[in-house]
Amino acid sequence: MASETEGTGRASALPRSAVILLTLAGGTVAAFGLAAVRDVFTPAFLALVLTLCVHPLSQWLHGHGVPRGLATGTGIVTVFALLAGFAAVLVAALGRFSALLPQYAGQLEEAGASLADALTAAGFGPEQVQAAGESLTPERLLGFIGGLLGNVTGLVGALVIILTLLILMAVDGSRIPALLEHLGGHRPVLVTALKDYACSVRRYMVATTVLGLLQGLFNWLVLLILQIPGALLWGLLSFICSFIPNIGYFIAIIPPLFFGYLTGGWPTVVAVVIIFGGVNAVIQSIVQPRYVGNAVNLSESVTFISVLFWAVVLGPVGAVLAIPLTLLVRTILLDSNPSLSWWR
């Protein structure tokens, strides 16, 4: 009877190819669904990550005699102040970029003419040459920056959502230990996976923050020595971009390269690429992925692919949250299921 039942089970099982296709189809539907609600999901998940990071601080304050409500409120205010500071630095960097552009109108005109001559020599048509030359005018660049600032103003609404969720999640967090203790008797593997996820997210944030601070300080000193306008602001911007693994420095190097060319010409550009770009490339492409990968048990390839994938699904913020999102997927699909642990 047992062998007959096993044979029936095998006969009714789906072929491996069908399982793979159904899995890919389900993942595709989930990705499109998240992309459709990114304006809600992204700030909600960011609030979750920040809540996980601030929870030890609240617990430490409460353990040292601070009332639970005050300890929770202190953690919320601290995290929200840091988040608002990051948003302010981003807006200030774009604003500083816009303020400096008109001062270099002559250099921009010369750069546009040089670009047009180079394109003409390379065999491009007159329309392409004219479009490329006109793109390096203060008006065009200011219009581009204005569009970015217009999108950044949407951060205000996101910050309101995050602040509200931080308060609500902090209140709910007081009941999580009891919930996990009750759930541990029924699903111990799931509880262990959730606890490991919280620890991994904290390790990732700490590792990235420490490396980002060192990177930002180094960049500020380098740009200060090279006399690049707005050196302190670009150093802060590089700190924020350090939360985007592998490709963050490509974003952070754009303003120093641009104003380095306008102030010192190609020698300054070469210096920025060699010193600023070279060191940051090593840190973000080799040191940070390896250090962060060891902290959260993700390989360098998976880290890089996750940044690209979540950026496509959720936009620029998805690149920042790529590692916590990938860890969450691994927790739900693999870590909570002992039979699939070998996939790790």
pLDDT in tens, 152-192: 556 566 777 777 887 888 777 777 878 888 888 888 888 88
- Exposure of 138 by Cβ count < 10 A (0-12 exposed, 13-18 middle, 19+ buried)? middle
* pLDDT for res 33: 92
Helix axes 300-314, 16-36, angle to 10 degrees: 50
Q: For the chain, state the CA radius of gyration.
A: 25
Mean pLDDT value across residues 50-60:
81
Instruction: Please state the pTM of the whole predicted model.
Output: 0.75
Binned at pLDDT 50, 70 and 90, residue 29 comes out as very high
CA distance 279 to 7: 61
Helix axes 300-314, 322-330, angle to 10 degrees: 100
Q: What is the pLDDT of residues 101-116, one digit of tens each?
A: 777 767 767 766 776 6
* pLDDT for res 326: 92
Mean pLDDT of all residues in the chain?
78
CA distance 38 to 26: 18
Check: CB of residue 173 under 8 Å from CB of residue 75: no
CA distance 287 to 80: 29
Mean pLDDT value across residues 279-291:
72
